[in-house]
């Protein structure tokens, strides 16, 4: 067994170091930008630099652990019960544009259960953290999901899949449905930050379709440890989730399932 709180201290140090790399390179002229699955799905040299830092740090401190990271995929899956799930730069499109809304997401699983999650916003110096069974915090302050139950009073968040131009299951119908039924909807471009905002009560609820595990592993734990509920839409592509307090999550789930 590992000492999870000791591991958490390592992760908090790592994300601050990687965050410094990202801050120093934001707005860099001639930033190397490539595409992945399509022209909307970007990766920058800073994504890769950030990932390299995490892989090196984890292999030095926990050489027997598995690592799953967005850019490299599974790294030496050796059957360990521990697996790191990393999105080294969540919000790459924002970053490539010079928009300072992006995050770092790091989660640790034991036997496929997330036991630790950290989401860090370098430009805002906001560090969200959770250890299973020990509540959720931002910069040392305990956080809780919001308590609203009427959608018309709620600020929601969502996002859209990278294949939004070619796949009709692209969330535009749900977006149109909730616009007149809520106080407002935000699209920040970082699922990890969206979930952290739900955990802290800044957003009342969030939904998104076709995500990947590295987008949400840490954020889901934050929401759960902050007293919230995450519901998975099983009939959708990839990982499609709703997050909020129990009442709002169930309400949004019912609306989406009825459409």
List of domains in the chain: 4-142 (3.30.540.10), 151-258 (3.40.190.80)
Mean pLDDT, rounded, for 245-254: 98
pLDDT in the model for residue 182: 98
Evaluate whether 141 touches 134 at the Cβ level (below 8 Å). no
pLDDT in the model for residue 235: 81
Predicted confidence (pLDDT) at residue 38 exceeds the cutoff of 80: no
Q: Which has the closest alpha carbon to 85: 219, 242, 251?
A: 219
Percent pLDDT > 90 in the chain is: 82
pLDDT in the model for residue 40: 61
When pLDDT is cut at 50, 70 and 90, the band that residue 27 belongs to is: confident
When pLDDT is cut at 50, 70 and 90, the band that residue 28 belongs to is: confident
pLDDT in the model for residue 30: 82
pLDDT in the model for residue 242: 98
Predicted confidence (pLDDT) at residue 41 exceeds the cutoff of 70: no
- 135's CB contacts (< 8 A; 6+ apart) are 142, 225, 226
* CA pair distance 67, 44, nearest whole angstrom: 20
Evaluate whether 194 touches 228 at the Cβ level (below 8 Å). no
Evaluate whether 219 touches 195 at the Cβ level (below 8 Å). yes
Predicted confidence (pLDDT) at residue 142 exceeds the cutoff of 80: yes
* HEC secondary structure over 33-54: EEECCCCCCEEEHHHHHHHHHH
User: Cα dist. 247→164, 195, 223, 250 in Å?
Assistant: 29, 17, 14, 5
Edge-to-edge strand order for the sheet containing 205-211?
Answer: 184-186, 155-157, 205-211, 239-244, 229-232
Structure tokens at 68: 């799953």
Predicted confidence (pLDDT) at residue 36 exceeds the cutoff of 70: no
Evaluate whether 109 touches 99 at the Cβ level (below 8 Å). no
Evaluate whether 204 touches 244 at the Cβ level (below 8 Å). yes
Lowest mean pLDDT among 47-56, 113-122, 162-171, 201-210: 162-171
Place of tokens 């740090």: 57
Q: Burial, 234: exposed, middle or buried (Cβ in 10 Å; 0-12, 13-18, 19+)?
A: exposed
């Amino acid at each position: 067994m590992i000492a999870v709180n000791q591991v958490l201290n390592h992760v908090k140090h790592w994300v601050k170091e990687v965050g410094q790399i990202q801050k120093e390179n934001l707005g860099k002229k001639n930033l190397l930008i490539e595409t992945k699955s399509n022209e909307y799905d970007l990766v920058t040299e800073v994504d890769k630099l950030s990932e390299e830092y995490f892989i090196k740090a984890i292999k030095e401190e926990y050489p027997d652990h598995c690592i799953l990271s967005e850019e490299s995929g599974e790294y030496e899956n050796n059957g360990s019960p521990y697996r790191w799930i990393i999105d080294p730069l969540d919000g790459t499109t924002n970053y490539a544009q010079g928009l300072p809304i992006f995050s770092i997401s790091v989660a640790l699983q034991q036997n496929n259960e997330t036991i630790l999650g950290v989401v860090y916003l370098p430009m805002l110096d906001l560090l969200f953290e959770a250890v299973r069974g020990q509540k959720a915090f931002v910069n040392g302050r305990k956080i809780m999901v919001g308590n609203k139950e009427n959608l018309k009073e709620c600020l929601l968040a969502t996002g859209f899949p990278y294949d939004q131009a070619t796949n009709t299951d692209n969330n535009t119908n749900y977006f149109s449905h909730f616009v007149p039924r809520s106080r407002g909807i935000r699209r920040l471009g970082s699922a990890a930050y969206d979930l952290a905002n739900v955990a802290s009560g800044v957003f009342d609820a969030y939904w998104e379709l076709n995500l990947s595990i590295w987008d949400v592993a840490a954020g889901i734990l934050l929401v759960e440890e902050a007293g919230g509920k995450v519901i998975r839409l099983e009939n959708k592509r990839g990982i499609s989730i709703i997050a909020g307090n129990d009442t709002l999550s169930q309400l949004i789930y019912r609306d989406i399932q009825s459409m």
